[in-house]
Structure 1
Amino acid sequence: MSEEPPYVVSPTADSSSTARPATFIFLHGYGDDAEGLPLGLAQQFQFNNKMQYLKWVLPNAPHNHEAMARAWYVPKALPNAVKPRVPGHEGEEDAPDDEVGIMQSVDMLDQLVEQEIKNGTPSERIVVGGFSQGCAVSLVWGLTGRLKHQVAGVLCLSGYMPLQTRIQQLRNERGIKDDDKDPKRWFYVHGTMDMLVPTRLFVQGKDELAKWVDKENIEEHLYQGMGHSTNSAELRDMLAFFEKVIPE
């Protein structure tokens, strides 16, 4: 985890509010930081007086010397995408995923969830999620994380599922039984005009997720015309998901 503490956006609810505390731990994308898209989303919600009881925990990825950017792991080139220009990694579409980096980030998420529980937020009032590379880490954490079964939900924006051929083995190594009760809900969404993460990778990730999660627990949306970004329809659906899994 980065040596920098997470950027925290406190709830705006006043002291007379009867709403129970809740926390959203949200990972930024490759090359971004906590004060980029994550902070922008938090500010949009608060400006519009939505989810006023929600605490936003926005960690910063460490600066990855190999990727020469903030990154939760070293990205590889994705087929049919505008690829991140990582020196020495151009064109490596068949290269293995950076399992070490991804699983270090998975462990970091467990630490953040654990800290929020220690701070007094009930685990069933915590949502974990991310955008792009942060989405990818969140997907893997939601299937292999130590505390994955305790949270309310996982929210995944504009990303893909890495380590698809390794998920079963990782679950075995971490003592996760396939019949373990896992009550959390999933929100996994994408844009049809995403030039960085092709739609077919979103579909592959959704199909992979359905191997481990009951389909009725997966809310999916594919937004027409949306690129590698967010839009008003996505934010509306994101709000509805929050209100469902961590209601006031």
Structure 2
Amino acid sequence: MSERPPYIVPPTAEASSPARPATLIFLHGYGDDADGLPLGLAQQFQFYNKMQYLKWVLPYAPHNQEAMTRAWYMPRALPNAMKPRVPGEVAEEEAPDDEAGIMRSVDVLDELVEQEIESGTPPERILVGGFSQGCAVSLVWGLTGRLRDIVAGVLCLSGYLPLRDRIAELRNERAVGSNEKDAKQWFYVHGTMDMLVPLKLFVQGNEDLLKWVDRENIDGHVYAGMGHSTNSAELRDMLAFFEKVIPA
């Protein structure tokens, strides 16, 4: 767990019943903070009086000494169309993923979900998600996390699926069950102009996700012209997803 406690954005109104609180645990991206993009998202929803009963739990990644910034794991370079390839040089994107770091962050998500359940939020009223690197961790947690079967869904913005060749083994090692189809709901979206996480990685992540998740349980969108960011169409679709899986 990070040395800093999560930034908590409390609900501004109760759900239709006090027994129906709802929580979103949302991880920030590489080099960002909980009070960066995640807090901005929460504030936008609250400013427009949307999802007023939703509690936002926004954790801080630990400070990574090697990267000199906050990171959920040590990233490898992603394919970048703007970066020239040097003949004979091993591509950085072919380097292995930081499995130890990713799985430590997966365990952090399990701890946070457990804390929310202990505080009184029903597991079927909990969402887990993230942006960019936070999205990557959330995708892996959604497939291998200890408590991933009991939550309402996973929210994945502008990220890719790391450890894609290890997921089946990790599910077996962690007693998740490699042949079981995932029953929760997924929101997985991307922008066509994302220059940091290329669209082809989102497409690849979707294909991999379908090995364990039925297509009808994936609410997927691609936004024309959107970069490594958010836009109004994405927020509109997020709201529809929230209202479907954790209604008031």
Query: TM bucket by the smaller chain?
Result: over 0.9
Query: Which residue is equivalent to 1:163?
Result: 163
Change in CA separation of 1:167 and 1:49 when aligned onto 2, cut-off 3 Å:
same
TM-score relative to the length of structure 1:
0.94
* Contact 2:106 2:138 survives alignment (8 Å): yes
Query: Which residue is equivalent to 2:101?
Result: 101
2:183 aligned with 1:183: yes
Query: Which residue is equivalent to 2:10?
Result: 10
Give the gaps of 5 or more residues in structure 1.
Answer: 84-89
- Alpha-carbon distance in 1 for matches of 2:100, 2:117: 26
Deviation of 1:184 after TM superposition, in Å, equals 0.8
Query: Which residue is equivalent to 2:152?
Result: 152
Query: Which residue is equivalent to 2:27?
Result: 27
The sequence identity of aligned pairs, in percent, is: 77
Number of equivalences: 241
Query: Which residue is equivalent to 1:39?
Result: 39
- Alpha-carbon distance in 2 for matches of 1:80, 1:50: 36
* Contact 1:191 1:224 survives alignment (8 Å): yes
Higher mean alpha-carbon deviation, 101-110 vs 170-179, is at 170-179
Deviation of 1:80 after TM superposition, in Å, equals 2.0
Query: Which residue is equivalent to 1:86?
Result: none
- Alpha-carbon distance in 1 for matches of 2:241, 2:231: 15
2:143 aligned with 1:143: yes
Deviation of 1:74 after TM superposition, in Å, equals 0.4
Deviation string 1:45-85 (CA, Å, 9 cap, x unpaired) is 000000000000000000101111100000101112568xx
Instruction: Read off the aligned partner of 1:142 and give its amino acid letter.
Output: G
Query: Which residue is equivalent to 2:208?
Result: 208
* Contact 1:81 1:196 survives alignment (8 Å): no
- Alpha-carbon distance in 1 for matches of 2:56, 2:121: 12
Query: Which residue is equivalent to 1:48?
Result: 48
* Contact 1:82 1:196 survives alignment (8 Å): no
- Alpha-carbon distance in 1 for matches of 2:176, 2:61: 27
Question: Cα RMSD (Å) of the superposition?
Answer: 1.6
- Alpha-carbon distance in 1 for matches of 2:246, 2:178: 26
Change in CA separation of 1:100 and 1:233 when aligned onto 2, cut-off 3 Å:
same
Deviation of 1:177 after TM superposition, in Å, equals 1.5
Change in CA separation of 1:121 and 1:192 when aligned onto 2, cut-off 3 Å:
same
- Alpha-carbon distance in 1 for matches of 2:7, 2:78: 30
- Alpha-carbon distance in 1 for matches of 2:170, 2:136: 15
Query: Which residue is equivalent to 1:111?
Result: 111
Query: Which residue is equivalent to 1:78?
Result: 78
Query: Which residue is equivalent to 1:227?
Result: 227
Give the gaps of 5 or more residues in structure 2.
Answer: 84-89
Change in CA separation of 1:18 and 1:158 when aligned onto 2, cut-off 3 Å:
same
Instruction: Read off the aligned partner of 1:130 and give its amino acid letter.
Output: G
- Alpha-carbon distance in 2 for matches of 1:57, 1:24: 6
Instruction: Read off the aligned partner of 2:36 and give its amino acid letter.
Output: G
